[in-house]
Homo-oligomer: A and B are copies of this chain.
Amino acid sequence: MQRSLDYGEMVLLIEPHKQRSFSVVLKENSILHTHQGTLPHDEIAGLPEGSRIQTNTGCIFLVFRPRISDRMMKVRRKTQIVYPKDAGWLLMALDIFPGATVIEIGIGSGAFTTLLAQMVGPEGKIYSFDRREEFVENALYNINRSGFADRVETDILEAGEPFPVNDVDAVFLDLPNPWVAIPPASQALAPGRPLALIVPNAEQLKEAVESLYQNRFDSVEKVELLERKMLVRQKEGVRPLERMIGFTGYLVSARKLSF
């Protein structure tokens, strides 16, 4: 039995047949101002997910709980985030499972942290470190809002310092110089388990791959993903969209050796 939308929850509003959405946290006695008119939060609270609502100017919105991918796109950003298309690949590469213990270096805005927290479930644990306190604070704001705060532990850690946890199931690195974190990652990771990382430039890709081979990793995969949105119109026809995101980063995965 599905719960209805409640105060304190983040909800997504979408125009019918459109892709663009915006998010709002429901509060009593509040008014939502949209480009298409206003709407009292009190009219949204109590509705089932997937409901239709109408602004004072007669415009229709659909209201949903954010999926985890929506949450990632709606975090309060202090940094570049890991996009859902790349996040899906990383979940697979890191072989995430309920109950897993995962280290993330570079908490960023906490978008990928939140995804990891959803995926490891209440039995799992995410340790996420960053060298900048303001990033950790902002990420915690986002993680708290997702309701997964108890699955995530954060701390300030200089890149290159040893990690305060061991025998973890997966390590994810999202920092400009991932090679400084590869030696401690190699220490912290259980034998055979995967590490993944994302870097923006070809030169970093090269340096990261070299560092992996020098720090007891092998089975190294390096890819980038292009997501092409399709335009589907019943009358005019089907084709790719004219605009696309051309690049979001190089993705690498590798597995820890035991010797």
A70-99 contacts to B, CB under 8 A, are: 84-85, 87-93, 95-99
A162 CB–B CB distance under 8 Å: no
How close is A103's CB to chain B, nearest CB, in angstroms? 16
Bound state CA distance, A165 and B257, in angstroms? 44
Closest to A256 in B: B50
Is A240 at the interface (CB under 8 A from chain B)? Answer: yes
CB distance from A180 to the nearest CB of B (A): 17
The size of the chain A interface, using a CB distance under 8 A, is 91
Contact of A206 among B1, B227, B238 (CB under 8 A): B238
Contact present for B237 and A229 (CB under 8 Å): no
A167 engages B1 (CB within 8 Å): yes
Which residues of chain B have C-beta atoms less than 8 A from A49's C-beta? Answer: 190-193, 258
Q: Name the residue in A192, A210, A247 with the highest tally of chain B Cβ atoms < 10 Å from its Cβ.
A: A192
Interface secondary structure of A, over-half rule: mixed
CB neighbors of B among A38-62 (8 A): 47-52, 62
**Contact in complex: A2, B248 (CB < 8 Å):** no
A84 to chain B, nearest CB (A): 5
Chain B contacts of A229 at CB under 8 A? 221-223, 246
Listed by A's residue number, 28 A-B pairs whose Cβ atoms lie within 8 Å are A2-B191, A16-B218, A19-B221, A21-B219, A50-B255, A50-B257, A51-B257, A62-B218, A62-B257, A67-B194, A88-B91, A88-B92, A89-B227, A91-B91, A98-B123, A200-B239, A202-B203, A206-B237, A222-B231, A224-B228, A224-B240, A225-B227, A239-B247, A239-B250, A241-B247, A243-B246, A244-B244, A244-B247
